Structure formats: C-alpha cells, structure tokens
Structure 1
C-alpha cells in the first residue's frame, strides 16, 4: 500500500510503489482525477534474449531521494542480467512535465545491446472507457487522450529517440495489454487503439564492457494536443537532463530558504525534517486544498480514499508549514476555506480539491433528531491556523481580506453553536470521525478559534467583536474545567454525551488528543491538571512492544492488529507519539529533560520508509506501515515537533 516515492508540483502528482510501478497520476488537481488509478505502469529490460520487468524478483532495489530534493535517487541491480540502473524521477517545478533519467551500466565483460521498455496503463479521468492511444509519426511520440486530458510520452538516448512502439487493448476480451508484447524484446508497431488501452515504447542502448550510458524519458500532460506538443518541444529544446537538474536545484533552494540552527538534533532527524517539508508540498494543490493522502490502495478497504481536504488536517498542516517559514505555500488554503464556508459560518466534513463537497458519513438526522453533520473542530482550527499564519508572516492585507469572509462568520457560528446548559460547544463528531458528543479536543479548538478571532478583531480595531469573541472563549475555558475535568480521576475526560432522557454520560477513555488542552492554550503545560492527564496518556496509550510508540486511544479498532489490549491499546500512530513529545518539550525546564522527546523524534526516523515517507500508523509487532503513506498530517506534525524542540532549546539556553 505505501507510496515510498512521490513527486509533484501542485498541479501534477505522481506516486510510485516499492517495486517502481507508477501507481497514481493526479492532474490537474493534486488528489483529484487519478489517470492511473492504482494500476501498474512499469519499466522492463531486455538484454541478450532475456527480459525482466523491474517489479520481478531478482532485482535489488534501493529507493530514496537526492539530497534535500524532490528528485528521486533509485538504484536497481540484477546480478543474473549483469545490469545496474540508477534512476532519477522528478516533476518540473512549474509545468505538468514528468522527467526520468536512467543510467544503465553493463556489469559484464562483453559488449551487449540493452532495450528498455516503458509501459503506460492509463485510465484517463478515472475510467478505461473511451480512451485512445496513438503513435504520432510527426512528433515521433505516443500519446493517450480523452476529452480534455492528453498524456504524451517521449524519450531519447544519445543515438536516437523511441526505437519501437505498440498500442493495444488491455484487460478486455482476453487481451492483457502491450506489456505482454514487450516480453520477447520486440513490439508489434500497432499505431492506434481505442477503448480500454495501454501503450509500450522502447529505447535501445549499445554498451561496451562495464560501460554506462543514459536514457532520458518524459511525459507531458495537458488539456489539448497542442498543449502537450508544446511541452514536448520545450523539453527537447531545453534538454531533459538540464531540466531535471534544474528541478533538483529548485527544491534544494526551496527547502533551505529558511536559515535554521538545528541545535543538537542528529543529522537523520534534520534530514527527515527537510524531507517532510518537501513531501508536504507535494500534497498541496496550487488552488489551496491540502490533501490528507493520495495513496489509492486504500480504495480496496472501503471504496473511498484519503484524497480529500479535511479542514482540520489542512489547518494543522498549515500551522506547521507557516511556522517553518512557508506562509506563501499555505496562504491559498485559507482562501479555499473562505470560499467553502457554509452561509451559516461552518465548514463541512471534507472537500474535493476543486472545492466541491466531498463524501461524508455524517447524517443530518439521528433517532429523529436533526443535527449538523459536522466536526466543529474543523471550523475552529482554521481560525487558529490563520492566526498562526499571521504571526509567522505578518501578511496583514491577506488577513484583512479574510476577516469579513472567514473570521467573522466562523466566529459567529462558534459563539452561537453552544449548549446553553453547559456553555460548551454543542455535540458534533470527534476528530477521529467516529462518535458524536461534546469532546475536550473539540472544546479546546473552539476556545482557540475564538481567541484567534478576538486577536484579529483587536488587530483591526474592532473592539466590540474583540470583547464578544474573547469573553466567549473564556466561558468555554471555564466550562471545560467544570464539566470536562474529573476531579475524582484527576484528569480530563475524552468527552460527555447528552442522552435523550436528560442523563449526562461521561467518556473516561484515555485519548491522545487531550494534548490539545495545553497545545491550544486552554491551560499551561505544567498545570497539574494537564500533567495528570498527559501522564495518563503516556501510561495508558503506550504500545508495550519492541515497536513502541503511542496509540490514538484505548481500544482503537481502526486497522486493529492485536487483541492484547493490555500491551497494545491500539496501533502506534506517528502523530500521537509526537503529541506526547510535544508535551514533554513544553514542560521541560532543563536541556536534560529534552532527551526523551529527542528520542521520540529519532523513533519517528527509525520507522520511516527507506525514502523518508511516513505512514499514518504502524503494525505494533513488525513496525510495517499501516494504512496510507505518505500521510501529510504525519509529516507536518513531525515538522511542528522539531520546531517546538528547537524553540525550547533556544529558550533554555
């Protein structure tokens, strides 16, 4: 399921799996319209009558990225074929162009002919119906098209361009696809096919003993034949090798634009920090949507995916990126949210990258009672994140423009959506989207959202609203201490449920999101009530296996791997483990007290994929990634925790 290699530019996103298949190609939005859809577009090699696809056993594959870059550094070697390949993949930093450069080395002592085959299994606009694949003899390229999406592939060696080609029918009427045609080393040359189609092209290299030669391959995506033809010509004129080098330089400059002292953090922790910044960028659409994840294999579990913009995830990711110095990167997110805001001032469950409303499982009516199908924290956290954005970038004009369109209507909703008897937010769904009630996490986010609105009102001289928002936030703080803190337990509850018969049911489940009490400013980190709550989190949610880490909450069932709840309260999550580190950092009073959270950062590094990709959660016994990877929230939380650590080091010094 994981996607260890991800390259993109905010318009085009391409994912590869661990066997080097291209599994996802999103365009023109990151996360919307997957023109590969989890099928296997792959690379094969023919040498001296023997053929092998790179996904087969026999290849030793090492997957990674170039130093501080979104250009891959992949090594593949096959001892029996006597070949090694060094592969660099990247997406142009501006245009929808995918570039690939392969260094092919002959490991034997004899001269040999090597042929490389590229298979393309597209389902344009997410369906195989009505696609066309065609060889273009004028451009000497192959392209696929349907309606307003064209994908043109081309390449060249030092001697020539495409050597052979074939297009044909796939997965229909016993036809497997042109990838099968490639396995004898010769393509049939069929020039056109329609319907459910694929294509394969090949290139030829003549290698002396121990010689290495290179092949450049590229893919241009656009909304018309003229668009992809123009991009193809641009690659030819600019030289594909130089273009790929420029892509690497761009991302190196981008990830290092903020000069930062990383104190005593190990190099591996710093490297993952930079990799995380780059990977988060690939998941941000240029129009503002911040996508949760784009690993399409999750489809097989519930016929839906993570390629949505959850306002909560987006807000927390935007916070991290703003603090890291990338306010310009996430500024469109807030305009996206302003446009998406309901006329009553709240945001819905999730959104598609084009701004339309995403799928949901939150009903409007339960047991005859009409309700809002929302997670209120998603609205509140956007206001909190906007204030963090302002603090980091001081973009007064942007925030002034959003004050009447986002801040005021959202704050008005937060003030009105209050349970009168308790002065807490009315019931809504929790951040894990599993239960409906009044939760400590949601209440903390509403407190933070109203505080952010109050600060904006004060900033813009709106004294009347400042007082209203600030007093509303303080009432929620007082109500949280009265109703959500249990003095007998000596810690905060996960939440309470208001039953139809008038009863109030307390939820005593220990929950990792209780870190929000200090993280969102309800109480300081060293408050005894916070300390007792977080100690309960550490004690009750620790995964007592060699893998370690912390679970979301007691009895977590999502992708459950163990029934031994005493040792494994749930699978360890990257973000939940980092939330524990955040508290340890916040309460530290000496540099020595930072050793434990520093170890937790190294724990995250040790459970990243070889390429640096972080998953959502881990198998508690093997440490293997579970659910999607990369998860944008995991990478952003890691960035945020590193920054908190560095701030604390500077403070203590």
Structure 2
C-alpha cells in the first residue's frame, strides 16, 4: 500500500510541477536555503520606494506597535512583537498581504490574508484588519470565491494556478473573528458584500451542506484529484461564522440557512473523512487539515477528530522537532512552521495550553538571527525558506493572544478567590 501511495505521490508531483504549483513533492529535491536576511525590509519588492519612507518607516512602525498590544508575557514577548512588526511590513497600503518578502511568496493568498486580518484585529489594529479584508473584497470573484493568489497591486492572479476553494471559508471565519474583536461587535457595512458573496460561494460549493465541495488545491499547493480535508473543513468553519454574523444582525433566514448548511457539511465530513480524518478521507495520511476540525475553527464535539489531531504531530514529527505538512509528505526531515504553529494555535484554543507552550517554545527557538519566523527549519535546526512568513507570523500572534487571554482568566480567578 505504501509503495503504491509513493508512486501515486511521485506522479502527482510531476503533474503539480507541470501546472506550476509549489512545493513539488519530490524526495531528491535539494534542501531549501534561507532566502533572505535582516535587510529584506529595504531590499525586497516590499521595501519603501523613497529614502524618506525608509527613514520614517521604523519610527512609524514603533508607534504602530505601541498603538496596539503585544499578546505575550515573559520570554516570548520578543518573537510575538517581531511577528507583529513583520505582518505590518508585509502588508501594503492597499491591504494586500505578501506571504513572504520575495520571489513566489510576494503575492497575496486569501488564506494568509484572512489569518493576518484576525491577528491585527485581536491585537488592537482594527483599521489594518479592515484594510486587509477590503483588499480581499476588491479582488473577490463574482461568484464569491477567490483565485489561489493575487498580485500585490490587486490586478489579478500572476499565473494560471487553479482556484483554491478554502479561501472563501477562511474569509468568512476571519470576518466573524474580526467582528467579535471589535468594540461594538458589528461587522462594518463595507465588508458585508464580501461576507454575502463568500457565503453564496460556500453554499454553492456544498449545495447548501448536501455534498462535499468540489476538488481544489489547498494549503499544500499541489493539484488534487480528490477533495481534501483542508478544503472541506475551512468551508464548514466559514458557514458557522456566517450563521453567527447573520444571527447577530437579525437576519434569521440567512442565519438558519448558514447553520443548516454548516451542520450538513459537518455530518458529511464525519462520514466521509472520519474516524481517521486522513487527507483524502481514508487515504493520504494525517495532515494539518485535521487541526481545522478543532477550536477555534470548530466545536470540540468530535472525539475521533480530537484523537486524530493528537496523533498528527506524533506521526509528522521531524528531526529538528517541528512538523511536516502531512504524515505522507516527502521524507526530507524538513519542519514547516505554518503547520507547527497551526497545532499550537488549536492546542491553545482547545484546552491544551502545555501542548501549545511546547510548540511555541520550539518556534521561538527556531527564528532567524534577526527574530523573524521562517517558513521551514532544516533537519539540523537552521531556518530556511523565506523569512518572515505571514501565515506563521499570524498564527504565532493568535496563539499568544489565546494563551494570554487564558493566563488573564486564571489570574483573575485566583485574585478573585
């Protein structure tokens, strides 16, 4: 069985390479290198255009950071603050968020942007969160879905990659989180069109919760022949977020429609992917998609999903101590920080603070020399790939925010007692 899966995986890698998708899952690929250094802020395509901007930016960034809050205490304050600064630097004035500083990462993925918007909102930078979501509203396709990624000027996709359906789910989830983080808990009127179109897309993709979504690439960035958990789970989270938003606005009809669709999709996910929750249901191995079935993306009401989530980091562990994107990812020993941070975030949100602390400590210890979070960590512990990576930075900020809230709650209960 494993030999057959390896052959299928190699063939899928060839197809993915031909479609221009990355990463290519070929075992003899050379190990990645660290692509940039501490000077990325002045040398990358994201650098300020004028000398005046380059001189003013560090001061403005310091003011911006102080205007919000760094969700950490103690030893990890440095990495959380640096992650926030990096997110600020990766975000263009028009709201486009670059996944990384250069090359094929210097584009805006709806998935990454959604997490960055939530990280901004939950650290007191509401205007920045709205700006990021506003960019997504401008590039959203007429049917409510999104391309895989966009040029930073908003002029469209840079290539012919297949669309990725999870984007609409992540955007709906992010809109609900941003709304919940606001003082008045009201979704700004300028973002309601984005919400309504993404909701319509999620309904169409799932036939209002009666079927799984169409086959689509997900965060692995490879072509697929079968629907993945990493596509289905975000759409379920998004539908649940839409239901809460509509209910809060008094739109009972759409709130109930969203709730029914979410419930139906959850049942399908359980029947088609459970109880093992592998990437393609009963094949493909466990991957980080199983974390998308945990809080804060889903209620903690599926024991099988929780057991699968607990198994994933054990089976996907790499020699440097981080995680591969999936158990059946290529065996090169490289750890990936977004998937590691996803486990940390869901651990913090689902009542496993010690597990979250473990992964956050590992991420903190594998930053670059200038403090940014890289995309990958080599088997010997060296950072590799682009640094910073927006998705990882956002997840680290969100995890610290969750842990800080829990510490605050414990402190309040102790002092009250």
| TM-score band w.r.t. shorter chain | 0.7 to 0.9
CA distance in 1, matches of 2:205, 2:259: 16
Change over 3 Å in CA distance of 1:334–1:582 after alignment to 2: closer
Residue of structure 2 equivalent to 1:624: 382
CA distance in 2, matches of 1:343, 1:577: 34
User: Does 2:236 match 1:447?
Assistant: yes
Residue of structure 2 equivalent to 1:251: 61
Report if the CA contact (8 A) 2:170-2:235 is conserved: yes
Report if the CA contact (8 A) 1:262-1:646 is conserved: yes
Paired residue secondary structure (2:381):
coil
Residue of structure 2 equivalent to 1:473: 262
Q: Which runs of 5+ in 1 are unaligned?
A: 8-12, 16-23, 32-90, 100-218, 221-243, 297-304, 363-372, 497-505, 563-567
Residue of structure 2 equivalent to 1:519: 295
Structure of higher RCO (CA pairs closer than 8 Å, 6+ residues apart): 2
**Which one of 619, 630, 634 corresponds to residue 392 of structure 2?**
634
How many pairs are equivalent? 377
Residue of structure 2 equivalent to 1:20: none
Report if the CA contact (8 A) 1:292-1:307 is conserved: yes
Change over 3 Å in CA distance of 1:612–1:421 after alignment to 2: closer
- CA shift, 1:259, in A, is 5.1
Residue of structure 2 equivalent to 1:14: 42
CA distance in 2, matches of 1:261, 1:447: 28
CA distance in 2, matches of 1:598, 1:610: 21
User: Does 2:195 match 1:407?
Assistant: yes
- Structure with higher Rg: it is 1
Residue of structure 2 equivalent to 1:551: 324
Report if the CA contact (8 A) 1:572-1:618 is conserved: yes
CA distance in 2, matches of 1:348, 1:315: 14
User: Does 2:413 match 1:650?
Assistant: no
CA distance in 1, matches of 2:169, 2:354: 33
- Range moving further from structure 2, 348-357 or 456-465: 456-465
Aligned-residue Cα RMSD (Å) equals: 2.6
CA distance in 1, matches of 2:135, 2:349: 32
1:368-395: CA deviation from partner (whole Å, max 9, x where unpaired): xxxxx32111111111111111111246
Report if the CA contact (8 A) 1:419-1:426 is conserved: no
Residue of structure 2 equivalent to 1:529: 304
CA distance in 1, matches of 2:251, 2:302: 32
- CA shift, 1:255, in A, is 1.5
**Which one of 497, 509, 520 corresponds to residue 285 of structure 2?**
509
**Which one of 73, 98, 102 corresponds to residue 291 of structure 1?**
98
1:19-75: CA deviation from partner (whole Å, max 9, x where unpaired): xxxxx3x3xxx48xxxxxxxxxxxxxxxxxxxxxxxxxxxxxxxxxxxxxxxxxxxx
Paired residue secondary structure (1:428):
coil
Change over 3 Å in CA distance of 1:494–1:5 after alignment to 2: same
- CA shift, 1:422, in A, is 5.8
CA distance in 2, matches of 1:346, 1:250: 35
Report if the CA contact (8 A) 1:550-1:576 is conserved: yes
Report if the CA contact (8 A) 1:3-1:630 is conserved: no
Report if the CA contact (8 A) 2:108-2:151 is conserved: yes
Alignment of 1:222-261 (within 5 A): 244=55, 248-258=58-68
Report if the CA contact (8 A) 1:586-1:648 is conserved: no
Q: Which runs of 5+ in 2 are unaligned?
A: 1-33, 412-417
Change over 3 Å in CA distance of 1:397–1:528 after alignment to 2: closer
- CA shift, 1:335, in A, is 1.6
CA distance in 1, matches of 2:91, 2:105: 13
Paired residue secondary structure (1:344):
coil
Paired residue secondary structure (2:51):
strand
**Which one of 513, 531, 538 corresponds to residue 313 of structure 2?**
538
1:530-579: CA deviation from partner (whole Å, max 9, x where unpaired): 33112210221011x2x21111112324xx6x3xxxxx4xx211122222
Change over 3 Å in CA distance of 1:579–1:14 after alignment to 2: same
**Which one of 311, 323, 340 corresponds to residue 577 of structure 1?**
340
Paired residue secondary structure (2:108):
coil
Residue of structure 1 equivalent to 2:374: 615
Report if the CA contact (8 A) 2:312-2:327 is conserved: no
CA distance in 2, matches of 1:586, 1:396: 20
Change over 3 Å in CA distance of 1:574–1:358 after alignment to 2: same
**Which one of 249, 262, 280 corresponds to residue 495 of structure 1?**
280
Residue of structure 2 equivalent to 1:341: 140
Residue of structure 1 equivalent to 2:81: 274
Report if the CA contact (8 A) 2:210-2:261 is conserved: no
Residue of structure 2 equivalent to 1:438: 227
User: Does 2:106 match 1:307?
Assistant: yes
TM-score where L is the length of structure 1: 0.54
Report if the CA contact (8 A) 1:295-1:630 is conserved: no
**Which one of 345, 363, 374 corresponds to residue 604 of structure 1?**
363
Greater share of strand: 1
Residue of structure 1 equivalent to 2:36: 3
Residue of structure 2 equivalent to 1:146: none
Paired residue secondary structure (1:580):
helix
- CA shift, 1:279, in A, is 1.0
